[in-house]
Structures are given as C-alpha cells and as structure tokens.
C-alpha cells in the first residue's frame, strides 16, 4: 500500500477511536482539526521507510508507530502556536488551532494527542508485546525531557542556551525517534538508527530555516520571519542562502551514509535522496537569488 495512504489510514483509526458519543464535541472537533488535512507527514514517512528497509514484518505495529509520531508532532504544533510561545495565527494554510478553537481547547488538544499517541502504540503492538516497551522508550525520549521536543521548546526560554542541545532536542530528536521506532516496529534494535534520524532532522531544520527566511507564507501555509521575531538561531541567516543550500546537501548526503546495514538499504537511500530533492517545497521560495 502507498505510504501516504497507510499514514492517513492509521491516523484516521487513531483519531476516530476518540470520537465516541462520550466525547465532548468541541475537543473531538479540535483534535480532528489539528491532525487533518495532512501536512508533509515527513516524520511518519521516515518511520515507514526505515521499517520497510528492515523488513516491516508487522505492518500493524509500524502503522501505529507512524501514527503516534505524527500525533505527537501535531501536539507540539498545537502548543508551540499558543500565545505563550509563538502566538502563530496560521498553520498548514488555515487558522492555527488556538485561533480556531480558543486557547483552552488548544491546550487540551495537545494533551489529548500526546496520550492518544501512546494508546495508539499499545493498540498496534498488541500482538507483539515485546516491541511495545522499546517503542514507548524511543518515542518518549523523542518528545519529553531531558532531550525531546518539550526540552527543545523550553531551551527557548533559557537566558543561557546550549545551542547544540537546543537544536538536537527541538528538531533532531523527533526525527531520531521516528527512525528508531521504525526499526523497532520491524523487530530490530532502534539505537543504530538514531544518527540517521538526527542527520535528517538537521537537514530538515536547515530547509525550515531557509523557508523561514525567504519563503512565501501563502505557499508554506504559516508565517515566515519567525526566527528573527523570536531571536532564534537560523542557518540561512548565518550562512547566507547559497551557504545554507550547500549545508543542506551535505547534511542529506551524510544522513544517507549513516544508514545502518539492513535488507532494504539501497531502497531507503534512493527514497531519501528523492525526498531530499523535494525538501524545499516547490514555489515556496519567494525571491531566491
């Protein structure tokens, strides 16, 4: 089955499990709004790519893990967009969650999505209980503290920032978690895959920095210039546009080189290189040199 279809079906199954008669209607609607329609779904695509390269012998586990990783990403967007953080008014081309549903439901939606992610893992791994512990550990490490995305966001409020810990936690951790979870879902050890995920995360961060500097907000569906507005580091501002593009290419090549030995190594390399060509969204660049 097509990877994008698998991801959307797994997300649909996870979200609709929470849409019983018992659910408060506003929260149910806000959760659906936060998850659909699809963004890039880049993290679950990496996860399923790694699972496929490792044999993907239990697709019900890898589907659940892919959904969990994306639910957690959606949770982080719901909370990062809150007025207490970026106060972003748009996301994925529509009003941000707190603009559409108010601040209380934006907080609760993020919370509910985090819980839903772990419930989804447990449901998916029902037939492979020995994989659940390592999955929860890999996913938890990617999103919590000390080194996950909660920690990454918290670094932005520190007076003295450990820049490498900040960047690793803010972006790299969830990519590393996606790669590790893909391997674990397919019955492999997750650790050796973290360097690959981290590398992709670094590359994605540079691409995101380029977009934040020069993209058309209408095309990418969210405000630009946020790094400067919030005094955050930005590779494209530091290296210049051409320097940042070169850095992006180097990081993509290094990520590919770090792919561990596995049955589907060649296929995964090809997929990553193809994705690399699309990492800067078409038409996103407003006045590229």
Q: Which residues bind a copy of itself (CB under 8 A)?
A: 18-20, 22-28, 31, 75, 79, 82, 84-85, 102-105, 107-108, 110-112, 114-116, 118-119, 121-123, 125-126, 129-130, 132-133, 136-137, 140-141, 143-148, 150-151, 153-158, 162, 165, 169
Helix axes 59-80, 42-53, angle to 10 degrees: 160
User: In this complex, which beta carbon is closest to a copy of itself, that of residue 131 or of residue 247?
Assistant: 131
DSSP track, 196-254: HHHHHHHHHHHHHHHHHHHB-HHHHTS-S-HHHHTT---HHHHHHHHHHHHHHHHHHHH
User: In this complex, which beta carbon is closest to a copy of itself, that of residue 126 or of residue 263?
Assistant: 126
8 Cβ contact list (under 8 Å, min separation 6): 38
Shortest CB 145 distance to a copy of itself, Å? 4
Indicate the burial class of 39 (C-beta count within 10 angstroms; 0-12, 13-18, 19 or more): middle
Shortest CB 102 distance to a copy of itself, Å? 7
User: In this complex, which beta carbon is closest to a copy of itself, that of residue 133 or of residue 240?
Assistant: 133
User: In this complex, which beta carbon is closest to a copy of itself, that of residue 108 or of residue 219?
Assistant: 108
**Among 44, 1, 41, 50, residue whose Cα is nearest residue 267:** 50
User: In this complex, which beta carbon is closest to a copy of itself, that of residue 91 or of residue 245?
Assistant: 91
Indicate the burial class of 86 (C-beta count within 10 angstroms; 0-12, 13-18, 19 or more): buried
Backbone dihedral region of 225: left (phi > 0), alpha (psi from -120 to 50 degrees) or beta? Answer: left
Shortest CB 105 distance to a copy of itself, Å? 7
Shortest CB 88 distance to a copy of itself, Å? 14
User: In this complex, which beta carbon is closest to a copy of itself, that of residue 90 or of residue 153?
Assistant: 153
How far apart (Å, rounded) are the C-alpha atoms in residues 287 and 134? 45
Shortest CB 66 distance to a copy of itself, Å? 18
Shortest CB 103 distance to a copy of itself, Å? 4
Shortest CB 97 distance to a copy of itself, Å? 13
Per residue, what are the HEC states of 239-271?
HHHHHHHHHHHHHHHHHHHCCCCCCCHHHHHHH
User: In this complex, which beta carbon is closest to a copy of itself, that of residue 111 or of residue 227?
Assistant: 111
């Amino acid at each position: 089955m097509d990877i994008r279809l698998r991801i959307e079906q797994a997300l649909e199954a996870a979200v609709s499990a929470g849409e019983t008669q018992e659910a408060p209607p506003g929260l149910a609607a806000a959760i659906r709004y936060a998850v659909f329609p699809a963004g890039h779904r880049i993290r679950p695509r990496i996860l399923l790519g790694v699972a496929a390269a490792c044999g993907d012998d239990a697709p019900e586990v890898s589907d659940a893990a892919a959904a969990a990783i994306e639910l957690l990403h959606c949770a982080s967007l719901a909370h990062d967009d809150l007025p207490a953080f970026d106060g972003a008014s748009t996301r994925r081309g529509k009003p941000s969650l707190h603009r559409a549903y108010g601040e209380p439901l934006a907080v609760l939606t993020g919370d509910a999505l985090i819980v839903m992610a772990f419930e989804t893992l447990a449901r998916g791994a029902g037939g492979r209980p020995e994989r659940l512990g390592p999955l929860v550990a890999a996913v938890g490490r990617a999103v919590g503290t000390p080194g996950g995305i909660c920690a990454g966001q918290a670094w932005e409020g520190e007076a003295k920032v450990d820049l490498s810990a900040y960047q690793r936690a803010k972006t790299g951790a969830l990519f590393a978690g996606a790669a590790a979870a893909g391997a674990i879902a397919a019955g492999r050890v997750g650790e050796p895959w973290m360097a690959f995920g981290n590398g992709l995360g670094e590359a994605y961060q540079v691409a995101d920095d380029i977009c934040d500097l020069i993209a058309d907000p209408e095309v990418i569906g969210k405000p630009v210039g946020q790094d400067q507005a919030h005094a955050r580091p930005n590779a494209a501002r530091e290296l210049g546009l051409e320097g940042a593009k070169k850095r992006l290419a180097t990081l993509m090549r290094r990520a590919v080189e770090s792919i561990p030995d596995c049955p589907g190594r060649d296929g995964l390399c090809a997929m990553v290189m193809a994705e690399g060509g699309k990492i800067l969204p078409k038409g996103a660049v407003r006045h590229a040199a």
